[in-house]
Structure 1
Amino acid sequence: MKLNLILAALLFTSIATTANAEGGYGGFAIQGTNYEADGVSDDADVNAIFLKYGRRINNTFSVEGRLGYGVSDGSVEVLGVDVDIELDKFAGIYTTARLTTDSAFKPYAIIGATYVESSASVVGVTIEGDETGLSYGAGVELHIHQDAVINLEYMSYLDKGDIEISGISLGINFQF
Structure 2
Amino acid sequence: MRVFAGAAALLVLMPSLSVADDGFIGINYTQLEQDDRFFRGDRFDTGEIFVRLGAHINEYVSAEMRLGTTLSDHSENNAEYRFNYHAGGYLSLGYQLGLVRPYALVGFTAGEEEFEGASWSFKNTIEDVSYGVGADFIFGERLGVNVEYTQYYDIGDVTYKGPSVGLVHQF
Q: Please indicate the TM-score interval, normalised by the length of the shorter structure.
A: 0.7 to 0.9
Alignment TM-score, normalising by the size of structure 1: 0.84
Moved more, 161-170 or 62-71: 161-170
- Look up the SS of the partner of 1:89 in the other structure: strand
Distance 1:147 1:139 in 2: 18
| C-alpha contact 1:10 1:95 (8 A) present in aligned 2 | no
- Look up the SS of the partner of 2:17 in the other structure: helix
Structure 1's unaligned 5+ residue stretches are: none
Structure 1 vs Structure 2: percent identity of aligned residues?
Answer: 28
Cα distance per residue 1:58-100 (max 9 Å; x no partner): 1211111011010111246xxxx77532122101000111133
How far apart are residue 125 of structure 1 and its match?
2.5
Which position in structure 1 is the counterpart of 2:45?
A: 45
Which position in structure 2 is the counterpart of 1:122?
A: 117
* 2:93 aligned with 1:97: yes
Alignment TM-score, normalising by the size of structure 2: 0.86
* 2:51 aligned with 1:56: no
- The amino acid of 2:132's aligned partner reads G
Cα distance per residue 1:90-140 (max 9 Å; x no partner): 010001111332x21221111100011111222153211111110000011
- Look up the SS of the partner of 2:58 in the other structure: coil
| C-alpha contact 1:98 1:108 (8 A) present in aligned 2 | yes
- Look up the SS of the partner of 2:13 in the other structure: helix
* 2:115 aligned with 1:85: no
Q: How does 1:1-176 map to 2 (within 5 A)?
A: 7=6, 10-11=9-10, 13-37=12-36, 40-75=40-75, 83-101=79-97, 103-176=98-171
How far apart are residue 31 of structure 1 and its match?
1.4
Structure 2's unaligned 5+ residue stretches are: none
| C-alpha contact 1:33 1:45 (8 A) present in aligned 2 | yes
The number of residue pairs the alignment matches comes to 170
- The amino acid of 2:58's aligned partner reads N
| C-alpha contact 2:10 2:88 (8 A) present in aligned 1 | no
